[in-house]
Structure 1
Amino acid sequence: MTEQQADERAPGEPPGSRRRRGLVVIACAVLLAALLAGHRAVPNVRGLGSLLDSAVPLLGLGVPLLALVALLRRSRPALLAVLLPALVWAGLYGRAWLPPAAGAAGASVRVVSQNLRVGNPDPAATVDALAGDGPDLIGLQEVADGDRVASVLAGKYPHHAVVSTVALWSRWPIREAHGVDTGLGWERALRAVVAAPQGDLTVYVVHLGSARAGHTATRDQTVAALADAVRADPAERLVVLGDLNTATTDRVFDPLTRLLRDAQAEAGQGFGFTWPAELPVTRPDHVLYRGLTPTAAGVLRTPDSDHRAVTAGFRW
């Protein structure tokens, strides 16, 4: 044994213990890498698989934690093992943190979507923040006080459509609007055709069923119903704005990703988490599209809502 090796052992520590004390970290690193790479193999029993899918980007936080433990234990094999989940996470989600190739210049239409929150004490302040940057279309969910919303938006947005607790406010005329059945037993989604200067744009404003740990069946059914509606829609240019109560990493989201693209993934930076507003850890709010080119996407903090808003810009 060299003098250096002896120094790396704690006093009284038997030979070989340095290797053993890294085994737990190595095992945790392998398990973390397996969960990152194979989370969809976990059965979706009572929504467990969906819950894991939604949380999987956050599992990357385990990498620096394991690296710290490996350093404290002075275990080189453990530190090398931590590279495995680090590389898997980077392969899955590293691209989301690269600067978007698209630029905001040249957007033909800018949209924003916000869940206002039913108990919002000042929805007027929330929508005033949404309108501050001058988007062309504003999609709202959980609209409980339409009069207060209208008092802020009616001047700049002379056209609007409302179905139940969802609404669309537009700078441009709305040719038609009607409710969309997503299987909730009452309509909490609308479809509108907006006469934009460049041509007609079909816009869905949607609030899908809620998902709770162990109770995702209603949400799952509403995702499938929305996918069916979009699949049957002949519109060439289409945007979906809303609180879908589903993360894009959730396997249940797949029917929508096969039909539409995600503005945040294409033109944003980062995960774009929106809920809860104070410290968001997931993204149930989305801007999905087809037939357009995204130029920008992001998240907007607004007052008095428990969700952050999502924004996007597109050109024809």
Structure 2
Amino acid sequence: MRNALRACSRPEPWKRGPVLTALALLLGLLLLLHAKIPDVAGLGSLVENVLPWLGVFIPALLAAALWRRSLSAATALLLPAVVWTTLFGGLLHDKTHPGGDLTVATHNVGAADPAPTARTLAAAGADLLALEELTPRATPLYAKTLAPTYPYHAIRGTVGLWSKLPLSGTRTIDIMNYGPLAATKSAAAKLPENRALHTTVTTPHGPLAVYVAHLGSVRLTPRTGFWTTSRNIGAAVLTRAIATERNPRVLLLADLNGTLDDRAFTTLGTHLHSTQLTSGTGFGFTWPSTFPMTRIDQILYRGLTPNHSWTLPETGSDHLPVAATLTW
């Protein structure tokens, strides 16, 4: 008799788990409308940098819905599942293609040991190799070790490009010199201005414009939230330079300190494409190297066809190197 009364008092499956149902719908709306999240204290940008990881809540909520036998929660989970698959499902299958005329690589070398790191990177066979976060002590060691493989190189401050093909017209891009954001420049005054360069690579198929950049770091602190000021200034400068670039063939090899889901790179994404999105397999996370959770190191292109994109083995830096092969 007692069991019968309990059974009668239990809510129907569609009425069970109202909190789980609400959480499932909230997760779906968060994925769907992430661009609408106000960027107060960098909240919107922070969410967008971890956007793929929101998918881990889907199986967790599904397990809870099955445990509660809540049909409403299980049904509500269709929203985040469909949105997540639409946003990121295309990254999960292999998009590589055979062939390729040009292999490029980029790496934030950080505190890695210069000589062995240079030898490892040279062995990857890249025709163009970009390095970020160079230091006055490490730069000569990289130059000496890479010289036998790369007869041409250009270094501007903390970034450099080593090439098997001739370079010309190299110039520094002052990523802190952007008029519309001049009022916020003082907030990033300690950022070195020589963190980006532009050069032209002479190839048998014509000139190729190459940009190498290391945008400002981001910080997550209780006082400022997700601080992105210097990075956003650099993103605006790069976007403006690439938008006015006359060469139809462009490469950007960079540590952007943000993912391409970040709203700071929305306009940049209208001018360049990601090799990882179009020719990679999986998310291609690059940072931190011990347990990669986000892709902030990018190879972006225009006027070329990507064949393959991949990450290289750990070097001792807190970033993984990334490489790509492209066809003219």
**Structure 1 and Structure 2 fold alike (TM over 0.5):** yes
Q: Which residue of 1 aligns with 2:124?
A: 133
Counterpart Cα distance in 2 of 1:21 and 1:152: 65
Q: Percent identity?
A: 40
Q: CA deviation at 1:54?
A: 1.1
Counterpart Cα distance in 2 of 1:293 and 1:12: 63
Counterpart Cα distance in 2 of 1:227 and 1:56: 23
Counterpart Cα distance in 2 of 1:69 and 1:13: 22
- Which amino acid is the alignment partner of residue 167 of structure 1? G
Q: CA deviation at 1:302?
A: 2.2
Q: Which residue of 2 aligns with 1:85?
A: 80
Counterpart Cα distance in 1 of 2:192 and 2:165: 31
- Which amino acid is the alignment partner of residue 261 of structure 1? H
Q: Which residue of 2 aligns with 1:3?
A: none
- Which amino acid is the alignment partner of residue 131 of structure 1? A
**Residues 1:278 and 2:287 are matched in the alignment:** no
Report the secondary structure of 1:222's partner residue: helix
1:250-289 to structure 2, matched below 5 A, reads: 250-289=262-301
Q: CA deviation at 1:154?
A: 0.9
1:182-193 to structure 2, matched below 5 A, reads: 182-183=175-176, 186-193=193-200
Counterpart Cα distance in 2 of 1:46 and 1:79: 34
Counterpart Cα distance in 1 of 2:267 and 2:71: 44
Counterpart Cα distance in 1 of 2:8 and 2:80: 30
2:145 aligned residue (121, 139, 152): 152
Counterpart Cα distance in 2 of 1:158 and 1:252: 36
Q: CA deviation at 1:136?
A: 0.4
Counterpart Cα distance in 1 of 2:205 and 2:294: 34
Aligned partners of 2:286 and 2:296 also within 8 Å: yes
What CA RMSD, in Å, does the superposition of the two structures yield over aligned residues?
2.1
Runs of 4+ in structure 1 deviating by more than 6 angstroms, as ranges, are: none
Task: Give the direction of change, closer, same or farther, for the CA distance of 1:51–1:86 in structure 2 (3 Å limit).
Answer: same
Report the secondary structure of 1:175's partner residue: strand
1:104-183 to structure 2, matched below 5 A, reads: 104-105=98-99, 107-117=100-110, 119-120=111-112, 122-144=113-135, 145-183=138-176
Q: Which region of structure 1 is more displaced relative to structure 2, 75-84 or 157-166?
A: 75-84
Return the TM-score normalized by structure 2.
0.88
Q: Which region of structure 1 is more displaced relative to structure 2, 81-90 or 138-147?
A: 81-90
1:1-316 to structure 2, matched below 5 A, reads: 14-16=9-11, 21-100=16-95, 102-105=96-99, 107-117=100-110, 119-120=111-112, 122-144=113-135, 145-183=138-176, 186-213=193-220, 214=225, 215-316=227-328
Report the secondary structure of 2:77's partner residue: helix
Aligned partners of 2:16 and 2:71 also within 8 Å: no
- Which amino acid is the alignment partner of residue 174 of structure 1? L
Report the secondary structure of 2:9's partner residue: coil
Task: Give the direction of change, closer, same or farther, for the CA distance of 1:13–1:178 in structure 2 (3 Å limit).
Answer: farther
Counterpart Cα distance in 2 of 1:190 and 1:62: 41
Q: How many residues align?
A: 306
Counterpart Cα distance in 2 of 1:301 and 1:13: 60
Counterpart Cα distance in 1 of 2:60 and 2:119: 41
Q: CA deviation at 1:291?
A: 1.0
- Which amino acid is the alignment partner of residue 63 of structure 1? I
Q: Which region of structure 1 is more displaced relative to structure 2, 217-226 or 11-20?
A: 11-20
- Which amino acid is the alignment partner of residue 53 of structure 2? L
Unpaired runs of 5+ residues, structure 2, are 177-190
